[in-house]
């Protein structure tokens, strides 16, 4: 694997952390509210980038 600069690495780590959280939130919700939490997670994701 090639060397990645520190800022990029931080961005990737924070992104995967947010994605992980969003996935956990989606898993916890029932299928009825998963649509709402999915759009919520998507909004949170697009804001953090």
Residue 33: name the closest of 41, 17, 3 by CA: 41
DSSP string of the chain? -----HHHHHHHHHHHHHHHHHHHHHHHS-HHHHHHHHHHHHHHHHHH-
Question: What would the pLDDT profile of 6-47 be if each residue is shown by its tens digit?
Answer: 888 888 899 999 999 988 877 776 555 657 777 877 787 777
> For the whole model, what pTM was predicted?
0.41
17 vs 48 pLDDT, higher one? 17
- Output the pLDDT for position 30: 53
């Amino acid at each position: 694997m090639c060397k990645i600069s520190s800022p990029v690495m931080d961005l990737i780590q924070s992104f995967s952390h947010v994605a992980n959280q969003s996935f956990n939130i989606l898993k916890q919700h029932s299928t009825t509210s998963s649509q709402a939490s999915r759009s919520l997670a998507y909004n949170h994701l697009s804001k953090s980038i």
